[in-house]
Amino acid sequence: MSPSEIESQLIEVLSTVLGQPVSATASRANEPGWDSLKHIQIVFAVEEKFGVQFTEEEIPLLDSVAKFQEKLMRHHAA
């Protein structure tokens, strides 16, 4: 899966969970609806969509589209 395909699917997942359109620059810092509960929902939705499982250490660090994308690229490369 290419980086652009991952980004596109991530944006789709985040938009669905947050209930509003988001961009590739979306992060917890600039999306007011991305609170701690939504963060867990996003993590679960991303795990299901991409068939991966993040570690307890990874989850708090996944606070933007870019960081999710980077981590997914590593999971898919492994």
| pLDDT given for residue 77 in this prediction | 56
Residues of the chain with pLDDT under 50: none
Claim: this prediction has a pTM higher than 0.95: no
pLDDT at position 1, please? Answer: 80
What pLDDT is stored for residue 55 in this prediction?
A: 95
Identify the CA nearest to 29 among candidates 62, 69, 64.
Answer: 64
To 10 degrees, what angle do helices 36-50 and 3-18 make?
140
Cα distance between residue 44 and residue 30, in whole Å: 21
Residue 62: exposure state from Cβ atoms within 10 A (0-12, 13-18, ≥19): buried
Residue 64, classed as helix, strand or coil, is strand
